[in-house]
Amino acid sequence: MAEKKIRIDPITRIEGHAEVVIQLNEDDSVREALFKVVEFRGFEKFTEGRPFYEMPQITSRACGICPVAHLLASVKACDQITGVAPPKTAVMLRRLMNMGQIIQSHALNFYHLSGPDLLMGFDSDPAKRNIFGLIDSQPSLAMRGIRLRKFGQEIIEKVAGKKIHPGEWMRPGGAKWPLTQERVDYLQSFLPEALDATTKTLDMWKQMLDGLQEEVEHFGNFPTHYMGLVTPDGGLEHYDGKIRIMDPQGKVAAECVDPTKYADFIGEAVEPWSYMKFPYFKAVGYPDGAYRVGPLPRLNVASYCGTPLADEEFKWFKKLGKNGVVQSTFHYHTARLIEILYCIETVKQLLEDPQILSKHVTSNVQVNNFEGVGVAEAPRGTLIHHYKVDEEGMITYNNMIIATENSNIAYNMAITQVAKKYVKARELQEGMLNRVEAVIRAFDPCLSCATHAIGQMPLDIRLFDASGRLLDRKLR
């Protein structure tokens, strides 16, 4: 007997190429939904034999949205291979560019990608439901998002010389050149506008949430474990610190203080229907050891943010869930906005510290160790690069666990929940399927990262009956 299923291909307004297959029961109700990632490049293999100092440049090409996260995880692994600590100013500059990246990436998701659903409506005209439609219908709102993203991109450019793939600047042991007063002045002059845009967006979002309680209830609202970096005393952290894994009730399940031990905590499973692997928390096993990463889990695992305005919002955020654990994937949007606020405040602090202008930004390095693991928080969550090298510093082993990949089991749980709630197979509407896509957008996946690949095909939804006969077909 043929299986009954609905395909959504591709998921649009996400970064990367994926499709959803919704499996139906005999009575056409939804049985489950699968998130299929269908592209793959193969960084872990083709970097073998290359000099370790090339790794930041090459591996950051995994992703054009969060190249900075790859640069950081990669260069931190390379720092370990050299056994040398970078100067304090280099670390400050790396942190600064990471803040820029998170600002631009979160703004991109909220305004350019998810914004059309949230600000124009899930059922609005698909031909206009995009950033250009938003420019057309709500120009000042769209411009606010465009300018906020621009601020983040310009931080990266001013620090490292280029908005996308600024790998030339990054080097094991530090960075290639220092920051100038002129550039600090420019970024400081942009700060008030960015802060204003963010607080206005947060205020608007809080008002909108009253009308979005159904989405909060049904868009990926379930218990899982959560993972993210925290400072030694449990604060929000994106560059260094320890990996904390929290259980669904809000208790700390594990802490990985030494990042080289990540494989003691995390395993990776493979399924034949997706190029994206399925990491799981080893203490619980596969697939019950599902955990989520990214903005919402970061706020769940942290006990505070560490900047005044963000901490105010953090207190409010914690009340959205039981025991301070917010489990609805829809609140990734909320967490993203609070993180932008945190990042802007942190940018301000970093720029005000005179040491940011020190000319000493690099240590002299050579190969002293044969293995290194670098961990950083990408916009989408915890990112791990693990390298081994030979005596010449040539790569012999590369393993990358990518932010988006970490939440893979939860993606499948989330789309199944949304499909069960909204998809009525006998009277299929475009808006029903757009909601399935929207919960994926809430996670903000980065699939060229996750499979180290990308691509695209037209949307083709086909509805088959139990004998495999085509009942209905929609093209978009």
Sign for the CA dihedral angle at 192, 194, 197, 202 comes to negative
Residues in 217-236 at the binding interface with other proteins, rule: CB under 8 A: none
- Of 86 and 279, the one with the shorter C-beta distance to other proteins is 279
- Of 145 and 228, the one with the shorter C-beta distance to other proteins is 145
Neighbours of 385 (CB within 10 A): 30
**Which residue, 135, 6, 5, 16, is CA-closest to 440?**
16
Stretch that binds other proteins, among 91-99, 140-148, 244-252, 361-369 (CB under 8 A): 140-148
Give the C-alpha distances (Å, rounded to integers) separating 252 from 217, 228, 245, 298.
25, 11, 6, 13
Of 147, 242, 348, 462, the one binding other proteins (CB under 8 A) is 147
- Of 245 and 301, the one with the shorter C-beta distance to other proteins is 245
- Of 49 and 223, the one with the shorter C-beta distance to other proteins is 49
For residues 67 and 60, give the distance between their C-alpha atoms in angstroms, rounded to a whole number. 5
Stretch that binds other proteins, among 156-164, 298-306, 412-420, 464-472 (CB under 8 A): 156-164
CB of 25 to other proteins, least distance (A): 21
Neighbours of 231 (CB within 10 A): 15
54 binds other proteins (CB under 8 A): no
Of 7, 76, 106, 150, the one binding other proteins (CB under 8 A) is 150
Residues in 326-385 at the binding interface with other proteins, rule: CB under 8 A: none
- Of 88 and 165, the one with the shorter C-beta distance to other proteins is 165
Residues in 102-131 at the binding interface with other proteins, rule: CB under 8 A: 108, 112-113, 116, 126-127, 129-131
Stretch that binds other proteins, among 35-43, 247-255, 335-343, 413-421 (CB under 8 A): 35-43
For residues 171 and 177, give the distance between their C-alpha atoms in angstroms, rounded to a whole number. 10
- Of 19 and 345, the one with the shorter C-beta distance to other proteins is 19
165 binds other proteins (CB under 8 A): yes
Site string for other proteins, 393-422 (x = CB under 8 A): ------x-----------------------
Q: Coil, strand or helix: which one is 377? A: strand
Residue that has been written with the tokens 């791990």 in this structure: 384
CB of 437 to other proteins, least distance (A): 9
CB of 134 to other proteins, least distance (A): 10
Instruction: List, as one string, the DSSP characters of 272-327.
Output: TT-SS-EEEETTT-TTTT-EE-SHHHHHHH-SB-SSHHHHHHHHHHHTTSBTTB--
CB of 231 to other proteins, least distance (A): 30
Of 198, 274, 382, 417, the one binding other proteins (CB under 8 A) is 274
Q: Hey, what are 374's tokens?
A: 């670098």
Of 64, 250, 321, 431, the one binding other proteins (CB under 8 A) is 64
Of 7, 22, 30, 39, the one binding other proteins (CB under 8 A) is 39
Residues in 2-31 at the binding interface with other proteins, rule: CB under 8 A: 9-10, 12-17
> Cβ distance 37 to 348 under 8 Å?
no
CB of 41 to other proteins, least distance (A): 6
Residues in 242-271 at the binding interface with other proteins, rule: CB under 8 A: 263, 267-271
CB of 129 to other proteins, least distance (A): 5
Q: Hey, what are 146's tokens?
A: 């465009």
456 binds other proteins (CB under 8 A): yes
Stretch that binds other proteins, among 158-166, 229-237, 340-348, 366-374 (CB under 8 A): 158-166
Q: Hey, what are 83's tokens?
A: 């056994």
Q: What are the beta bridge partners of residue 472?
A: 463
> Max Cα separation, the chain?
72
CB of 339 to other proteins, least distance (A): 19
For residues 379 and 263, give the distance between their C-alpha atoms in angstroms, rounded to a whole number. 22
Sign for the CA dihedral angle at 373, 377, 383, 385 comes to negative
Strand ranges in 103-176 using DSSP code E only, listed in sequence order: 170-171, 174-175
Neighbours of 199 (CB within 10 A): 16
- Of 89 and 153, the one with the shorter C-beta distance to other proteins is 153
CB-based burial, 161-193: b 16+ in 10 Å, e otherwise: eebebbbebbbbbbbeebbeeebbeebeebeee
- Of 169 and 280, the one with the shorter C-beta distance to other proteins is 280
For residues 462 and 385, give the distance between their C-alpha atoms in angstroms, rounded to a whole number. 40
